[in-house]
Amino acid sequence: MSIEVIRPGLNTTFQDRGRSNFYHLGIPFSGAMDTRNLLITNKLVGNDRDDAVIEFALQGPKLKIKQNNINCVVTGNVNFTFKKNSKIFNGECYKTFDLNNNDEIDIISTNNSMYGYFSVSGGFQIEKKWNSYSTHLRSRLGPNKGNKIIENDILKLNKNLKPIIKKSVQYANSKIEFIRVIKGTNFDYFSKDSQKYFFESQYQVTNLTDRMGMRLDGYKLNNIKSENIKSEGLIKGVIQVPPDGNPIIMLSDHGTIGGYPKIGVIISADYDKIVQIPPMSKIKFKMIDVSNAEKLFKLYSMETKNILDQI
């Protein structure tokens, strides 16, 4: 019972809901960048919410199934095809399909987004490392010895103990006008103009974007306080500003300590959205306060629950 990796894709890893309680040792949350899609993926194939899925970025893997009756699903905004009994079909996201021995699935690319997900009923035969199935490449932590999935890897599958039920759901990553941001702990380090233009101008997502962080290009933010901050903890969603004035957003695999001033933090409800924005896109920030961010998170949680309840 396995899947053979014919082509690995650009950045293909096992991920689950993330790894808690190790920030103090330098280990970030990691986990699926887009949590909602992870939950949908697991629910569609009948797996547990804490099970692992395969995450891919931009270009996905090409896989060969080595077992009959494997129930698969792809989520995200993804172009893919599958070859069943030597016939090629166009794949449809958020809809399970079953494949047999020697059938193939070719995840060509994500469409105007960064991350997509793949899983099978029963899940993958992998072990938790430091309490999670998530892969953190920088500390080589996780299944597959903390590495990316590479060509010729054999991904072992668990036996699916549940009956296969065809499932689908209507879902599309929502388009957003603004990424909502709460003022950071060093907001007053920046000039009045910078505070203003941070929210009024557009920023471009650069190619220097990965699971660790997203570098932006746009209005250069002017730090008017001369003193540097002493190195301190970081969390995902923090927007740091190094001396060159271009903001960097910390994402799930970020280094846990940093010394650049924090101008803002992305609200939890918008995290799944920011991570999906591909390089060269323009984004705009909007300032909101904690109580509104909490309300928006409740809404986000409710929406997630509603989608999962439909499956």
The residues that touch other proteins, with contacts defined as CB under 8 A, are: 20-27, 29, 129-131, 136, 138-141, 146, 182, 184-185, 230-235, 237-238, 255-258, 262, 265-268, 290, 293-294, 297, 301
Contact (Cβ atoms closer than 8 angstroms) between residue 39 and residue 60: no
Least distance CB 286 / other proteins (angstroms): 14
Which residues, 6 or more positions from 225, have their beta carbon under 8 angstroms from its beta carbon?
Answer: 186, 188, 189, 261
Contact (Cβ atoms closer than 8 angstroms) between residue 14 and residue 128: no
Q: Any idea what DSSP says for residue 46?
A: T
> For residues 224 and 257, which CB has a smaller minimum distance to other proteins in the complex?
257
Least distance CB 174 / other proteins (angstroms): 19
> For residues 73 and 265, which CB has a smaller minimum distance to other proteins in the complex?
265
Q: d(Cα 149, Cα 132) in Å, to the nearest integer?
A: 17
Q: d(Cα 53, Cα 119) in Å, to the nearest integer?
A: 5
> For residues 70 and 267, which CB has a smaller minimum distance to other proteins in the complex?
267
| Closest to 45 measured CA to CA, from 200, 144, 165, 208 | 165
Least distance CB 200 / other proteins (angstroms): 21
> For residues 129 and 211, which CB has a smaller minimum distance to other proteins in the complex?
129
Partnered with residue 298 across adjacent β-strands are: none
| Closest to 100 measured CA to CA, from 134, 64, 150 | 64
Contact (Cβ atoms closer than 8 angstroms) between residue 103 and residue 84: yes
Least distance CB 111 / other proteins (angstroms): 29
> For residues 25 and 161, which CB has a smaller minimum distance to other proteins in the complex?
25
Angle value at C-alpha 119, between 118 and 125, nearest 5 degrees: 130
Least distance CB 99 / other proteins (angstroms): 34
Least distance CB 44 / other proteins (angstroms): 21
Give the containing element (helix H, strand E) for 57: strand 53-57
> For residues 112 and 131, which CB has a smaller minimum distance to other proteins in the complex?
131
> For residues 102 and 256, which CB has a smaller minimum distance to other proteins in the complex?
256
Least distance CB 230 / other proteins (angstroms): 5
| Closest to 76 measured CA to CA, from 155, 139, 9 | 9
87, with CB counted inside 10 A (0-12, 13-18, 19+), is exposed
Least distance CB 41 / other proteins (angstroms): 19
> For residues 105 and 266, which CB has a smaller minimum distance to other proteins in the complex?
266
Partnered with residue 99 across adjacent β-strands are: 70
Give the containing element (helix H, strand E) for 182: strand 179-183
Give the containing element (helix H, strand E) for 303: helix 290-309
